[in-house]
């Protein structure tokens, strides 16, 4: 985003997460205006982290990427770029269904909402997990991984898999959703 003329408005989904908070911090440091989504318990914490943001930080409530999908048109108003970080992280207690819903349905809802927005730049955070088979059977092979390397998984039924498997599979599936959207709407 180095070629953007500031003060572009950048939406950061998951602005209170580990990665999201760092992205918000760096964007504000670079002088961008930031609109960050956050779950209700963390909204005030994020606002209070930047008391000197001088109106450059707006935090909006997004409790769930799926059930709150109707909020996207309002959240995207005036936004020039999106950095999509939000999603369910695998940890004990989270279900496969929760991971799948946030990663796949949540990402698709956001992509659908972009069609009627001013967004010209879209960034999806992913992980190296997108390269691997969800059972990690290819993790120790001699493959050289690059931008042309993809997991061969296209979709799963989360009810049939453990959360750790679902998390890895969803990284590849959500990446493919974004690439498909980029072909349809080449602005991002």
- Looking at residue 16, which CATH number applies to its domain? 3.40.50.720
Would you say residue 172 lies in a domain?
yes
Report the C-alpha gap between 33 and 85 in whole angstroms: 17
pTM over 0.85: yes
Q: Specify the pLDDT at position 54.
A: 87
Regarding predicted confidence, which is higher, 82 or 143? Answer: 82
Range of the domain at 101: 9-184
Would you say residue 52 lies in a domain?
yes
| Domain count within the chain | 1
Q: Decide if pLDDT at 104 tops 90.
A: yes
Would you say residue 2 lies in a domain?
no
Would you say residue 155 lies in a domain?
yes
Would you say residue 3 lies in a domain?
no
Q: Is residue 82 very low, low, confident or very high in pLDDT (cuts 50, 70, 90)?
A: very high
Residue range 87-94: average pLDDT?
86
27-52, pLDDT tens digit by residue?
A: 999 999 999 999 999 999 999 999 99
Q: Specify the pLDDT at position 137.
A: 76
Q: Specify the pLDDT at position 22.
A: 97
The number of beta carbons lying within 10 Å of the beta carbon of residue 69 is: 17
């Amino acid at each position: 985003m180095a070629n953007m003329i500031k003060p572009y408005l950048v939406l950061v989904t998951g602005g209170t997460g580990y990665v999201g908070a760092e992205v918000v911090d760096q964007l504000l440091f670079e002088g961008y205006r930031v609109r960050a989504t956050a779950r209700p318990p963390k909204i005030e914490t994020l606002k209070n982290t930047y008391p000197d943001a001088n109106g450059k930080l707006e935090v909006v409530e997004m409790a769930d990427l799926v059930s709150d999908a109707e909020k996207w048109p309002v959240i995207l108003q005036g936004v020039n770029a999106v950095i999509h970080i939000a999603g369910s992280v695998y940890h004990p207690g989270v279900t496969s269904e929760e991971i799948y819903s946030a990663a796949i349905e949540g990402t698709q809802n956001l992509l659908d909402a972009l069609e009627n927005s001013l967004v010209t730049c879209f960034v999806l955070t992913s992980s190296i997990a997108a390269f691997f088979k969800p059972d990690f059977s290819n993790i120790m092979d001699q493959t050289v991984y690059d931008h042309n390397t993809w997991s061969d998984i296209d979709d799963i039924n989360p009810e049939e898999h453990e959360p750790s498997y679902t998390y890895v599979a969803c990284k590849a599936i959500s990446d493919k959703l974004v690439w498909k959207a980029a072909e349809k709407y080449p602005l991002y």
